[in-house]
Chain A
Amino acid sequence: MTRAVSVGEREVREALSAVTDPEIPVITIADLGILRDVEVRDGHVTVTITPTYSGCPAMEEIGADVRSALAALGWTDVTVRTVLSPAWTTDWMSEDGRQALREYGIAPPGRRPAGPVPVRLGLSRPAAPVLDCPHCGSSATEELTRFGSTSCTSLWRCRSCREPFAHFKQH
């Protein structure tokens, strides 16, 4: 069932396009792929979001940012729903989002192969991705640690320009 996009919904989506991830403020929640649905019915707005990782500490702040962005336009009857399923994946990140990360100095995630990906049980560690340095473009880069300043990122360094950089992990 397809539903027509109402004027109200367009306005709400427009307002939400200014809401960014509090920890990586150059990417919007829409471009990050965590804004899952917007519904406007009889003046009531339901915004559905999903966390990146289970423990993402930004969810409450994102919910508050959604409310305040909508309140600024007079939408005050707002429900923010958090859903876990289907589980978020970096494949939902838009091209604009990837470009914004790159310009901010964060190497964006690669794409998973098409089709269903079997869950890996065992220890066949996947080959580390080859990343281009977001500062100088060199592919002579290496992972320093799998865990970075947020759940979504790992820490890398470039052997050409010697600069460290964050990588938004494929997930």
Chain B
Amino acid sequence: MSAPAAVETAVQPDADTAAYVLRLGDDALVLGQRLCEWAARSPQLEEDVALLNLALDLLGQARSLLSRAGQLAGPVDGPDGPRVRDEDDLAFLRHEREFTNALLVEVENGDFGQTMARQLLVSAWQLPLWSALCASTDEVLAAVAGKAVKEVDYHLDHARTWVVRLGDGTPESHRRMQAGLEEVWPYAGELFEPDALTGRLVARGVAADPAALEPQWRATVEQVLAEAGLQVPQTTWRPTGGRSGRHLTSFGYLLAELQHLHRAHPGATW
């Protein structure tokens, strides 16, 4: 074991697990990027710090997940021959259709109420998701989950606090909180859609069954909305497509901001 680093980085390629881990990494990366848009624009200084703390947790999770996804995918052809893509390659050099995050995390911030509605719906899903993935047979995914579950617990608590405060606040804050909730609600359905990939990975003990997370999610969200005096939206419109790379119009602008520096100055560091 004179070269432990080399031994540890040899990862057996596994296309299915790579694709699944990439989905979760993209969820974290894109939501973190959206939250960063609040930097210096939050309603109060403490909230600026809070939202960027959430974003930092998500970015940390994304880095671990994208790195793992790149290793599991194995070498891919590039201009200088086959290479294993690292976290930067995956974050900065993929095109829109190659991102497989759920639509909900890319929905625009809207007003603060809409951002908190989105956070509630995402965190209430991520908590049981990461909790289940602590038992994943992919040991790196389980390790990321072990950290993420504690972090997402804070995120959910933060979102809950604001949704209740605004929903149960003034008539104006209530109206806007309900409007923000209506805006983001339809996108949540996609989180619970099983597909062939999750089917294969659930059978191997790698992935969490998406549909099995919905009852817990619904119970959490409905409890918060009841506490906030908000109505559960009744819409039946259920957009989908993020997991297969079909995104909202606004997603291209998000990627442009995320990627332009790296693309303009390849390899830039600071």
A and B together in one complex: yes
**A residues neighboring B (CB under 8 Å):** 41-42, 44, 46, 51, 53-57, 79, 81, 83-88, 119-123, 125, 144-149, 151, 155, 171
Pull 26 A–B residue pairs with CB atoms less than 8 Å apart, ordered by A: A51-B60, A53-B60, A53-B147, A53-B151, A54-B151, A55-B56, A55-B60, A56-B60, A85-B139, A85-B142, A85-B146, A87-B146, A87-B150, A119-B134, A119-B149, A121-B127, A122-B223, A123-B220, A123-B223, A123-B224, A145-B46, A146-B50, A146-B157, A147-B53, A151-B53, A151-B57
**Residue on A nearest B45 in the bound complex, by CB:** A145
* Residue interface mask B135-148, A partner, CB < 8 A = 1: 00001101110111
Q: What is the distance, in angstroms, from B127's C-beta to the closest C-beta of chain A?
A: 6
CB of B147 within 8 A of CB of A84, answer yes
CB contacts (< 8 Å) of B147 on chain A: these are 51, 53-54, 84, 87-88
For the complex, give the distance between the alpha carbons of A54 and B174 in Å: 34
Q: How far is the CB of A145 from chain B (nearest CB, A)?
A: 4
Give, as a whole number of angstroms, the nearest-CB distance from A92 to chain B: 14
Give the size category of B's interface with A.
Answer: 35 or more
Residues of A within 8 A of B50 (CB): 145-147
Across chains A and B, which 10 residue pairs bring their CB atoms closest together, nearest first?
A: A55-B60, A54-B60, A85-B143, A55-B56, A84-B143, A147-B50, A87-B146, A145-B46, A147-B53, A87-B147
User: Could you say which residues of chain A place their CB within 8 Å of the CB of B64?
Assistant: 54, 84
B146 x A86 contact (CB < 8 A): yes
Interface residues of B in 56-115 (CB under 8 A from A): 56-61, 63-64
B259 to chain A minimum Cβ distance, whole angstroms, is 20
Q: How many A-B residue pairs have CB under 8 A?
A: 93
Indicate whether B2 reaches chain A with its CB closer than 8 angstroms.
yes
Given contacts A145-B46, A151-B56, contact A121 B128 (CB under 8 A): yes
CA distance A46 to B148 in the complex (A): 26
- Cα A82 to Cα B178 with chains together (Å): 43
Cα distance A146–B54 when bound, in Å? 11
Most buried by B among A51, A54, A121, A123: A54
